[in-house]
Structure 1
Amino acid sequence: MAIRVLIADDEEAHRRKLRAALEAQPDIEVVDDVRDGEAALRVARDQWPDVALADIRMRGMDALEFTRQLAGPKVRRPVRVIMLTTFALDWYVYNALREGACGFLLKPTRPKPAVEGVRIAATGATMVSPRLAVRLLKQMSTRAAVARGKAKVDEDEPLNEWEIDIAQLVAQGRTDAEIGDELYISPISVQRRVVEIAHKLGVRSRIAIALWAWESGHVRRW
């Protein structure tokens, strides 16, 4: 069955380019392309695509609110939202991931990364452009350093020590197999515990778990 995709971008030329690249693929169907956030939300709720490619600076609706309504922790049938962004929007990158975005692509978006991003997102995985990942890690490192400087006993810590160990390894980019080797459990057990951690934190993705681990000061080094 084809992966159903919605495109939301106020740049018509960029929108057409993405649509042409995606529609050329036998396993991808573009349900619509729109120019603003409110239209995108209406189409998404009517068509309920598998993946939405959305400009982080959409007109008509804040991109974070768009993501929250389609992919937030309380959404029963989440859409996989990939944000289209530029280097200058680190704050949006960080917060959109926390709101449920599953990944980011840099604009102008080339056809091959767009196609690969849609396929990755459809599998449930998280994808972030490597250059954006480096910037994001630097930002998280700074936040973690500040958090460690203000460290105090937190009686409301949502995770137990075992879960914190797993969250730390997720934040270091370890795979399920690598985490299993480190903690002497099976990859399947790791997957199960990652799902439980995400539920406790009220997030959906591994990268959101990583953001929490860095921001809360649990990651001591990279």
Structure 2
Amino acid sequence: MIRVVIADDQQLIRAGFRSLLEAEPDIEIVGEAGTAAEAVSVVTRTRPDVVLMDIRMPDGDGLWATEQLVAKKELAETHIVIVTTFELDEYVGRAIRAGASGFLVKDTEPAEFIRAVRVVAAGDALLSPGVTRRLLERISSQLHEAPDATILSAITEREREVLALVGRGMTNDEIGRELFLSPLTAKTHVSRIMSKLAARDRVQLVVVAYETGLVRPGE
């Protein structure tokens, strides 16, 4: 079972998420929270697989709560998805820096929402497609100097090829087809790259791919 905590200051939203997710046979809601502090407490106590975290809540915000939770070693296997009505770049950047594994807006289609929970629970990371594109454009525009490719010296040529495809948003299956590898081999390459580059998840690998110039907007 995928164990989920819902953190949102609106009870109606929490009830909607609960109803949607509990209808799935492999998902269980193990806690709810209406404030940032309560979210930290509930997640610390229940240690879920996935936290659906709102941004704007009383007594702080979801990004603050995310930072608190990511800092706890005992929650290393807990993945946080920021879910909000505010699809603003500044929130996306802060969410990634805080350690979130995903960012979704509340008007996401139900099927996509459920898929997101499963994807993050499996250890992958995601962003809403539109958010991803704007984030990458923003990262590119903020590179005031030539891209620093020295970061990539820690990985092999094959791993650079894999990283470039991760940067273009490809899944492990798609990377495998592109490079004539099995999905398991592609996944192994991605895991090794994350370890070598000290990246928390695929979102951070995408950022590295753009910041180093390995991938450029429009490619």
Cα deviation, 1:171-193, whole Å, max 9, x if unaligned, reads 01233354446556554333222
In 1, the alpha carbon distance for the partners of 2:129 and 2:148 equals 35
Q: How many residues align?
A: 217
> 1:4 offset after TM fit, Å?
1.2
In 2, the alpha carbon distance for the partners of 1:153 and 1:140 equals 13
Query: What is residue 116 of structure 2 aligned with on the other side?
Result: 117
Quick one: structure 1 residues 85 and 78, their matched pair in 2 at CA, closer, same or farther if it must change by over 3 Å? same
Q: Report if the CA contact (8 A) 2:147-2:212 is conserved.
A: no
Query: What is residue 151 of structure 1 aligned with on the other side?
Result: 146
Matched ranges for 1:103-142 at <5 A: 103-108=102-107, 111-142=110-141
Query: What is residue 176 of structure 1 aligned with on the other side?
Result: 172
1:26 aligns with 2:25: yes
In 1, the alpha carbon distance for the partners of 2:169 and 2:41 equals 36
Q: Report if the CA contact (8 A) 1:8-1:15 is conserved.
A: yes
Matched ranges for 1:38-57 at <5 A: 38-57=37-56
Quick one: structure 1 residues 154 and 3, their matched pair in 2 at CA, closer, same or farther if it must change by over 3 Å? closer
In 2, the alpha carbon distance for the partners of 1:200 and 1:43 equals 33
SS in 2 for 1:121: helix
Q: What amino acid is aligned across from residue 54 of structure 1 in structure 2? A: M
Q: What amino acid is aligned across from residue 140 of structure 2 in structure 1? A: S
In 2, the alpha carbon distance for the partners of 1:41 and 1:207 equals 23
In 2, the alpha carbon distance for the partners of 1:183 and 1:113 equals 28
In 1, the alpha carbon distance for the partners of 2:100 and 2:11 equals 23
Q: Percent of aligned positions with the same letter in both sequences?
A: 39
Q: Report if the CA contact (8 A) 2:87-2:105 is conserved.
A: no
Query: What is residue 212 of structure 2 aligned with on the other side?
Result: 216
User: Given the alignment, which residue of 152, 155, 174 partners 1:160?
Assistant: 155
In 1, the alpha carbon distance for the partners of 2:96 and 2:160 equals 20
User: Given the alignment, which residue of 196, 199, 206 partners 2:195?
Assistant: 199
SS in 2 for 1:207: helix
> 1:168 offset after TM fit, Å?
1.9
Query: What is residue 91 of structure 2 aligned with on the other side?
Result: 92
Q: Report if the CA contact (8 A) 1:73-1:203 is conserved.
A: no
Give the alignment's TM-score, normalised by structure 1.
Answer: 0.80
Q: Report if the CA contact (8 A) 1:5-1:51 is conserved.
A: yes
Quick one: structure 1 residues 160 and 194, their matched pair in 2 at CA, closer, same or farther if it must change by over 3 Å? same
Cα deviation, 1:13-56, whole Å, max 9, x if unaligned, reads 21222122222333222112111111111111111111100002
In 1, the alpha carbon distance for the partners of 2:147 and 2:16 equals 51
Q: What amino acid is aligned across from residue 39 of structure 2 in structure 1? A: A
Quick one: structure 1 residues 116 and 76, their matched pair in 2 at CA, closer, same or farther if it must change by over 3 Å? closer
